[in-house]
Amino acid sequence: MSTPEKSPDTSPVIIYDVKNSIRLELGEGTTLSEFITPEKIAACNALVEQAANDFFTEALDDLEKLETLSQQKAANSSIEQLRTSIYTIKSFAKVLGFTLITETCVHCLAAIDNNSLPEKKKRALLGELVKILRVAFNHRIRDDGGAMGNAMLDSLRTLR
* DSSP per-residue codes, 64-129: HHHHHHTTSPP-HHHHHHHHHHHHHHHHHHHHHT-HHHHHHHHHHHHHHH-TTS-HHHHHHHHHHH
Question: What's the Cα-to-Cα distance from 155 to each of 134, 149, 160, rounded to whole Å?
Answer: 16, 10, 10
Mean pLDDT of 35-45: 88
**Per-chain mean pLDDT for the chain:** 82
What is the structure's pLDDT at 80? 85
Task: Kindly state the average pLDDT of the residues 6-20.
Answer: 65
User: Is the distance from CB of 133 to CB of 104 less than 8 angstroms?
Assistant: yes
CA-CA distance, 79 to 86, in Å (whole number)?
Answer: 10
Predicted confidence (pLDDT) per residue in 106-126, tens digit = 999 998 888 888 888 888 888
- Is the pLDDT assigned to residue 150 strictly greater than 60? yes
Q: Return d(Cα 59, Cα 106) in angstroms, integer.
A: 16
Euclidean distance between CA atoms 108 and 136, whole angstroms: 14
The per-residue pLDDT for 69 is: 83
Give the C-alpha separation, 68 to 34, whole Å.
52
pLDDT grade for 8, boundaries at 50, 70 and 90: confident
Tell me how crowded residue 26 is: count the other CB atoms within 10 A of its CB. Answer: 13
Can you tell me whether residue 42 is helix, strand or coil? helix
pLDDT of residue 122: 83
Amino acid type, 43 = A
13 has pLDDT over 70 = no
pLDDT at 48 over 80: yes
pLDDT at 2: 56
Q: Which amino acid is at 9?
A: D
> For the chain, what's the residue count?
160
